[in-house]
Structure 1
Amino acid sequence: MTEAELLEVIEQASTEGVTELDLSGKELTVLPSEIGKLTQLKKLILGKYKYDEEGEIVDTIGNHLNALPKEIGQLHQLEELQIVDNELATLPPEIEKLTNLRSLNLNSNQLSGLPPEIEKLTNLRSLNLNSNLLSGLPPGIVQLTNLQSLDLSANQLSGLPPEFGLLTNLQSLDLRSNQLKELPSEFRHLNNLRSLHLSYNQLSELPPEFRQLNNLQSLDLSANQLSALPPEIGLLTNLQCLDLSANQLSELPPEFRQLTNLQSLYLSYNPLNDLPPEILQLTNLQSLDLGKNQLNELPPEILQLTNLQALNLNFNQLSELPPEIGLLTNLQALNLNSNQLSQLPPEIRFLTNLQSLDLGKNQLSELPPEIVQLTHLQSLYLSANELSGLPSAFGLLTNLQSLDLSINQLSALSPEIGQLHNLRSLSLSANQLSRLPPEIGLLINLQSLDLNFNQLSGLPSEIGQLHNLRSLSLIANQLSGLPPEIRQLPNLRSLDLNFNQLSRLPPEIQQLPNLTKLDLRGNPVPIPLKILGPKEGWKDPGDVNEILDFYFHAQDPNATESLYEAKFLIVGEGGAGKTSLARKIEDENYQLQADEKSTQGIEVIQWHFQHNELDFRVNIWDFGGQEIYHETHQFFLTKRSLYALVADTRKEDTDFYWWLKIVELLSDNSPVLIIKNEKQDRQCQVNERSLRGEFTNLKEVLATNLETNRGLQEIKDAIEQYIIRLPHVGTPLPKLWVRVRSALENYSRNYISFEEYCQLCQLNNLTEREDILQLSWYLHDLGVFLHFQDDPTLKHCVILKPEWGTTAVYKVLDNETVKKNLGCFTRKDLKHIWKDLEYAEMRDELLRLMMRFKLCYPIPSHSDNYIAPQLLDINRPNYTWDDTNNLILRYEYEFMPKGMLTRFIVETHPWIEEQKFVWRNGVILQKDQTRAEIIERYNQREIKIRVTGTRKKELLAVITHEFDKIHRSFERLQYDTLVPCNCMECQESQEPYSYPLDNLHKRLKAKRYQMECEKSYEMVDVRRLIDDVNLQQPGAEPELNHKSEQLQQELSQERDKSFQNQKVTSQQRKKLHSALISAFAEQSLLEQLLDYELDKNLNEIAQESNLDTIVFKLIKTADSQGWLLDLVRVAYQSNPRNSELKAIAEELKNYF
């Protein structure tokens, strides 16, 4: 909401005299003083909770307010004020004037203190200060004697003032997630308390005075450090709910048995070895949680708890259940997950009221026949056992709605499964099912069916009878087709078919009206991955309609042709024999050269072979092995390819782990062959077993002597076999696609314009622009050519020979002048480096290609100057650093690909301090009085970040956002984001103790809000650790808060401007020259241009007599002075029918 809109709302509310105003979720950063006009308001909402259908809080809807205007004090009638989820750091003193206030909710702000004026709000009944930064309370808070509900949870309170006991009207007090180590004895005066939450503190004992809280009905002491309870606990006889989970209790006091009104008792996460006998006296218990203890048996006396309705014993060490379990006939829910049960007693049959039974993660190899007598069961969880079958009468459990049989050893389903006609959810994933019985079709109420990770090669036609099915998951089976009956599932919304063998889809799949998710990734179906969805499986697949439209409309399924083409990449150290191997594969009679020249960059060779009378084409990519190429090769290590790692057995310098790891990270785990080049028959050992254990994509280790061709045929045979098995090889494609692919082969040129590519497609009857772009994307992904559709410069050309482009790039990085200048070069240098005719007309595009690959960046404000960061000085420049109160973050990598930091430098180059504090292993960024030091320690596999200044959190968020993008470009990259401790000792240290971010998020999810610093042994708040660095969980889509997002947008805009504010390309100049000649011929434009006063040189240009010269000088001047787009616009306005000018104007608009 804009400021003007807000003022209008306030004015209208004032005019109408409204008593309630909701301004939550309006993106407000400032509340105007005009709010004081609304003196009639009784309720003002500036942030609130979001509830689900059951009334549970699921989210907050706030604003970005960091202060309240003093005029807030003019709202004298206000009774309720909600400011949930804002950024308030203080409250104005004028808050004291809201004397009618009964409810004040300040949840989720940044308050580190309360003003003394808070004591004037004596009518307050409810005060919520949850999730702030309070480390103490003002003495005046005890004046709020009418308070009935006080929420101080999730702050940093280490103590309470003694006067706290004066709040005698309190009925509900929430102090969870603070740093309380003890409670004041004055606590005993709060004898009207009904509910007290003290979870997630550091309490090691309870004071004896606790016994005076005799009206307590609910007490939460979970997640503290209690090793014992005082005898006085037995005096809290009104207690109905007691939570003692996550403490250190190994026993309970005898007086515990006096709590006879207890209905719910939680003792999970304690070191209980035996069931405390005192519990057996609590005969009114309805719910008992003993999960995650160390119980190895249940005593027979458990039968005394006859009122139990829910019993949780998960994550213990129970190997059997006593027969007496059958006497708990009121049980409705029994959780025995994660124990060591190998069988169940027959007495289980007496639990006839059971509705939910969880037996997952045990050692059950069979179920007792008696289990079928639990006819009220609605949920049965049997996952992760050793079941190979089900009891014959299993079909009697007709009330079952949810059945989980995942991760067992079922090789078949008995027909009785069809009798469970009330089933809503059925999970059979990770079994050994090769077929489904026809009776599966009888489960007519089924809504969710999970069959992932089985061995199904087909689905029965009866699957079409599951008319209520909403979700069907068949990931990682062996399906080669779907039955036509799939059309009979009108309610199906989600269909997961990842990693099967589907190459065709039935037409009937188009008849599923409610289908919103279709996942076909990992199948040889002829649909580009761009349409199928992101390669990251955790991300949502592509749009259903686009997937089906492409398959059924953009191609004719009956007019396809298989494309037998693949990419074979040869990598390894320099001089290992990669080029020799490539040449020998192409021609085994090739004579090795004694002084074989090392490959400069990349060389591509075509090789053909036949198999089953089919012609296969292999594009062999021979990669130069020099160290300088290691960073840049990774842009061409593609998926859907076969790899060979060549090792020279004489040198024994091959880092097998590095090469195999980089292929694994960048190629989606493509198959790899290790080829030992045994020059002069010198052999070496490769620890094949160890490498295979770590790299599942390592297929074979082969040896050859290329001089004698020993082993060459075996290598060629292996290559052929693995090429044939690549999933995309032989995939049916539209004949039009294959026709265009064949036509491209006839071009001997290195590149063509995109217009020429479109004309070629149209000549081959591929006319729709969307289809043309889809084919371009597919051939780019396959490595046939390079076409970057999303780049404003490179989208205009199609590089038919990728090796031509990469060789040009490497010419710059190999150039001695560029090396001598520590990576600095100019357009003048490029003119010399790319002086050959094949490059002369494409220098601008090639420069853009280098920037696209993050190999260089333009120096802002230094026109035509560039830096290749991998060639920068290795020595760190001298600079000063303020190391007080730094924010420090580290990334630690299990394996660190080369070039991480150089890519980061390119992405953040507009903020490099003075454009000089950058070196090969580090950079200093500067923005808005804030500096960041980023240093790569490659040998330690670490990147360390330090930030100082006024906007530390925001700048750090932007930096991590950029690193997150780099991380996601690698498949399965393993790393830890290490968050610094914020205890007093670590805050002043340059080497603070660090916590893995993913571990912090796991703790947060488990509601473990406190953890210990290993340096100071202080307890710190998990949420504050995460909030300090403003980071999301690793692997998640990057999300930034409002301020960080603004800063990120600034970087993106400055980066885009830097990259795009380059000279127009030679191709664009040619088109523009032609169009302007035409425009001038139709009508003189010089007078209009002179009127616009675009440049002082226009008069001089106008004196030229030759039209061609005029146009040439106009373009050159306009390009160098930055008014080229204006020139084209003026020309187009004078010639609106000139379609060529219109197209160029749009093109340049996007470009600039």
Structure 2
Amino acid sequence: MANTPQRFLEKIRQAKDKKLKELDLSNDWDRDSKEKLTEIPAEVFELEWLEVLNLSGNQLTTLPEAITCLQQLTFLYLSGNQLTTLPEAITRLQQLTYLGLSLNQLTTLPEAIIRLQQLTYLGLSFNQLTTLPEAITRLQQLTSLDLSDNPIEKPPPEIVEQGIKAIRDYFRQLEAEGTDYLYEAKLLIVGEAGAGKTTLAKKIENQNYQLQEEDSTKGIQVIQWRFLMENGREFRVNIWDFGGQEIYHATHQFFLTKRSLYTLVADTRKEDTDFYYWLNVVELLSDNSPLLIIKNEKQNRHREINELQLRGQFTNLKETLPTNLATNRGLEQVLEQIKHYVKNLPHIGSPLPKTWVRVREALESDTRNYMGLDEYLNICQQNGFTHRNDKLQLSSYLHDLGVCLHFREDPLLNKTVILKPKWGTDAVYKVLDNEKVICNLGSFTRSDLANIWCEDEYAMMHDELLRLMINFKLCYEIPRSQGKYIAPQLLSANQPSYNWDKTNNLILRYAYEFMPKGIITQFIVAMNELINEQQCVWKSGVVLSKDQTKAEVIEYYGKREIKIRVSGRHKRDLMTIVIHELDKIHDSYKLLKYNKLIPCNCDTCKNRQEPHFYPFEILRQFVVDRQEVIQCQKSYQMVDVLGLIDDVMNRRELLKAEQQMGGDFLLNPSETIRENIVVTINNVIQPSKQENNFMTEPSKQEDNSKSAVPVTLSFAFRNGMFYLFVFVVVFCLIAFFGGSLPFHYLALTIIGTAIFIVLIGVLQLRQDDRLSEKSFVDLTKMVLEQLPLISNIIKQFQGNK
């Protein structure tokens, strides 16, 4: 025990002396490495009665065979260590129900994991797993499996993201149908308008294509290109050529897909390509897919690019290739590099059930733009599918790959499978490009849509296409104006004049390292019901109204920030709603880097429109390090840290931030056990939500909107469910025994129960750190004094002092 930190020695002694069932030897993020365990102290293995062992946040590289001595373990926390393998010894802990292994260096899982038949939660996020053993699907009790942020190739990531049920279905189909491979990829061509994107797309398809004056691409053009691989199989490339106009930038997030190859075309004559913008957009939206820069050297004009600097900042940049598309100089090398990178995309060669490949080929040969869901299901049936869920799993997989579009969660769109995504995107862009809609500043009606979508191919699909635009957050229906819609990308750029009360405002800012276009327009769509008569809304901002409270939300794109200020009666409530909606949008960009800036509330700053701001991450770190105050850089006063957070947002945002940083080991064992109990209760009350929560830890169970409020025991108190439960129980008991009890006993029962509920509320407020120790004692005393007997005892005790 010589190398074991003293604080751990004391905990082990206590556990041994008191025969404690929980032992917490975890560390937080920033603790000095000298205070972390490199091996588990041998004395731990003498505690054979342990049920919970937390070793998170240390520097363990292996687990000894002796861990099998702890046969009573049900919770084992190993997140945030340096484990590279999971020894089979751990699989002999037959009572384990919770195993946290996030933030390690695991590359494989042993087949022997099948022995952990009691396991209900397995956390493996932020490891190096590339494949999953089929054995994992035979853990019958496993309901929560977190595999996020692993480079998994088998099963395909699109299946892994759907959770353990989808993974079980995938392996079952592989075993039943046999294995085949899908050699298909997506090539996306991006860049400024007029750079030569369309010319490159057509030159890839046919090297002999002769240049001609091309109209600027409207929306997206899709071209198919096929070539033979070395094994004789045909490789299919779907080339997506994106329009370069500003209006299309806000829609990139819906079409720039993962596991694709990107080419950025730059016109060397114009020197107008914003490399920083395009490389950031691709990195952000494609989950680091490989990218090639194609320098279109028109009239042989060369342009130097600081490739070394760009490679240092963007790891997905693979090659910079010069060419002259007019003379085909360098084109052969461009084609060879494109072939090389599309063939080496992670999903190429991944095993798929044969039925999947057959259905994909059947859909490919269908010339229609869309088909009904029943027709799609029949095609699946004809090609060997027997389970409806398997057919829908395939539609989700193809949707995620961008091969077709099937919005399963939408009650209208789920009835249609869009076979040609270009058909849908063309329809969307026809609205955004329409001159009348542009002149009306984004306003349009259903009769306008009838004129815009007048072709036969759209005749029967107006409702579905409109819903597609709403799903893409490209428009919204004006509240209380049925049949009238707004596309916020086309709103006026001029901010309207309005009155604003500047006293006692709540202020918050979001600052971004890189700011993708379209955040504010998505927010406007999401919050449209709170826009008062659609008066105070413009292209880069909006004023919301709710319960005599107003929120002003403005995007300053040049400064890469969004500024929020709230005025009125219920400022914090409306601020919470705004933060929640913005965070949902942020969550849709996996790699988006930003900071919330919290305003100072010292005497100098609290009524200013430009107070000093603290980054939320700094305040979070202060809380982690148990620093209660921070200095204002304007007044130099010391300010309460938790008070700063409480002014603007719910304190639970701290827990959410910690969970996003690294999983289960930030919670202590007893807290996590308590949360598991509540999750179990919630799964009984709301079983329909369980299917959507396979990829979350028990400590992070959320609804589908990714609410910032974690499911903890205190949530049960705060949402009133506990009080309602007690009230119902007491009411039933009183109704049952009311006739047999004397009136004075009945009255005492009712009063006592009411006081008991209040006392529980006081205890909860103290637990949430919303009451100081002194206030807690005073309030508890005040409540207890309402009970006659206890009141007399308290008075006697005070009299004897």
Unaligned runs of 5+ in 1: 1-308, 315-330, 335-354, 365-378, 384-394, 403-422, 535-541, 1050-1152
Higher relative contact order (CA 8 A, sep 6+): 2
Amino acid at match of 1:625: G
Closer, same or farther: CA 580–771 of 1 in aligned 2, 3 Å: same
1:1066-1103 Cα deviation digits (max 9, x unpaired)? xxxxxxxxxxxxxxxxxxxxxxxxxxxxxxxxxxxxxx
Q: Distance in 1 between matches of 2:226 and 2:488?
A: 40
Q: Distance in 2 between matches of 1:565 and 1:429?
A: 43
Q: Distance in 2 between matches of 1:310 and 1:465?
A: 29
Amino acid at match of 1:793: L
Closer, same or farther: CA 771–860 of 1 in aligned 2, 3 Å: same
Q: Distance in 2 between matches of 1:714 and 1:429?
A: 49
- Decide which of 486, 489, 504 is 1:870's aligned counterpart: 489
In the alignment, what sits opposite 1:758? 377
In the alignment, what sits opposite 1:589? 208
In the alignment, what sits opposite 2:124? 496
1:673–1:699 CA contact under 8 A, matched in 2: yes
1:641–1:726 CA contact under 8 A, matched in 2: yes
Closer, same or farther: CA 429–985 of 1 in aligned 2, 3 Å: closer
Per the TM alignment, residue 485 of structure 1 is displaced from its structure 2 partner at its CA by 3.5
TM-score, normalized by length of structure 2?
Answer: 0.72
Q: Distance in 1 between matches of 2:5 and 2:316?
A: 48
Closer, same or farther: CA 956–482 of 1 in aligned 2, 3 Å: closer
Amino acid at match of 1:923: V
Q: Does 1:445 align with 2:69?
A: yes
Per the TM alignment, residue 607 of structure 1 is displaced from its structure 2 partner at its CA by 1.4
1:599–1:624 CA contact under 8 A, matched in 2: yes
1:169-220 Cα deviation digits (max 9, x unpaired)? xxxxxxxxxxxxxxxxxxxxxxxxxxxxxxxxxxxxxxxxxxxxxxxxxxxx
Closer, same or farther: CA 570–478 of 1 in aligned 2, 3 Å: farther
SS in 2 for 1:986: coil
1:463–1:485 CA contact under 8 A, matched in 2: no
Q: Distance in 1 between matches of 2:479 and 2:102?
A: 52
Q: Distance in 2 between matches of 1:946 and 1:828?
A: 38
Unaligned runs of 5+ in 2: 13-23, 47-51, 661-705, 720-801
- Decide which of 698, 708, 717 is 1:1039's aligned counterpart: 708
SS in 2 for 1:971: coil
SS in 2 for 1:582: helix
Per the TM alignment, residue 716 of structure 1 is displaced from its structure 2 partner at its CA by 1.9
Q: Distance in 2 between matches of 1:767 and 1:974?
A: 44
Per the TM alignment, residue 452 of structure 1 is displaced from its structure 2 partner at its CA by 8.3
1:526–1:733 CA contact under 8 A, matched in 2: no
Q: Distance in 2 between matches of 1:847 and 1:892?
A: 33
Aligned counterparts, 1:788-937, within 5 A: 788-937=407-556
Per the TM alignment, residue 1026 of structure 1 is displaced from its structure 2 partner at its CA by 1.1
2:92–2:116 CA contact under 8 A, matched in 1: yes
SS in 2 for 1:838: helix
- Decide which of 218, 236, 247 is 1:600's aligned counterpart: 218
SS in 1 for 2:175: coil
In the alignment, what sits opposite 2:566? 947
Amino acid at match of 2:338: I
Closer, same or farther: CA 712–361 of 1 in aligned 2, 3 Å: farther
Q: Does 1:381 align with 2:5?
A: no
Q: Distance in 1 between matches of 2:123 and 2:441?
A: 54
Closer, same or farther: CA 581–1017 of 1 in aligned 2, 3 Å: same
Q: Looking at CA atoms only, which structure, 1 or 2, has the larger radius of gyration?
A: 1
In the alignment, what sits opposite 1:960? 579
- Decide which of 390, 402, 405 is 1:771's aligned counterpart: 390
In the alignment, what sits opposite 1:660? 279
Q: Distance in 2 between matches of 1:1038 and 1:1019?
A: 32
Per the TM alignment, residue 1003 of structure 1 is displaced from its structure 2 partner at its CA by 1.6
1:527–1:547 CA contact under 8 A, matched in 2: no
Q: How many residues align?
A: 638
In the alignment, what sits opposite 1:1148? none
In the alignment, what sits opposite 1:620? 239
Q: Distance in 1 between matches of 2:208 and 2:363?
A: 29
Closer, same or farther: CA 909–576 of 1 in aligned 2, 3 Å: same
SS in 2 for 1:959: helix
Amino acid at match of 1:826: T
Amino acid at match of 2:708: E
Amino acid at match of 1:1039: A
In the alignment, what sits opposite 1:1054? none
Q: Does 1:1029 align with 2:648?
A: yes
1:441–1:464 CA contact under 8 A, matched in 2: no
- Decide which of 405, 408, 411 is 1:786's aligned counterpart: 405
Amino acid at match of 1:730: G
Amino acid at match of 2:225: W
Closer, same or farther: CA 985–725 of 1 in aligned 2, 3 Å: same
Closer, same or farther: CA 430–727 of 1 in aligned 2, 3 Å: farther
TM-score, normalized by length of structure 1?
Answer: 0.51
2:110–2:133 CA contact under 8 A, matched in 1: no
Q: Distance in 1 between matches of 2:220 and 2:426?
A: 6
SS in 1 for 2:302: coil
2:177–2:355 CA contact under 8 A, matched in 1: no
SS in 2 for 1:581: helix
2:91–2:112 CA contact under 8 A, matched in 1: yes
Q: Distance in 1 between matches of 2:79 and 2:567?
A: 52
Percent of aligned pairs with the same amino acid: 51
Higher normalized helix content (fraction of residues): 2
Closer, same or farther: CA 512–585 of 1 in aligned 2, 3 Å: same
CA RMSD of aligned residues (A): 3.9
In the alignment, what sits opposite 2:114? 487
Per the TM alignment, residue 380 of structure 1 is displaced from its structure 2 partner at its CA by 7.1
Q: Distance in 2 between matches of 1:357 and 1:585?
A: 56
1:462–1:485 CA contact under 8 A, matched in 2: no
1:664–1:971 CA contact under 8 A, matched in 2: no
Per the TM alignment, residue 655 of structure 1 is displaced from its structure 2 partner at its CA by 0.6
1:903-948 Cα deviation digits (max 9, x unpaired)? 1111111111221211112111112211111111111111111211
1:441–1:466 CA contact under 8 A, matched in 2: no
- Decide which of 640, 659, 674 is 2:293's aligned counterpart: 674
Closer, same or farther: CA 887–511 of 1 in aligned 2, 3 Å: closer
Per the TM alignment, residue 425 of structure 1 is displaced from its structure 2 partner at its CA by 8.1
Amino acid at match of 1:487: I
1:498-520 Cα deviation digits (max 9, x unpaired)? 654644624x4455466555444
Q: Distance in 2 between matches of 1:497 and 1:993?
A: 37
Per the TM alignment, residue 963 of structure 1 is displaced from its structure 2 partner at its CA by 0.5
Amino acid at match of 2:245: Q
SS in 2 for 1:709: coil
In the alignment, what sits opposite 2:627? 1008
SS in 1 for 2:320: strand
Per the TM alignment, residue 840 of structure 1 is displaced from its structure 2 partner at its CA by 2.0
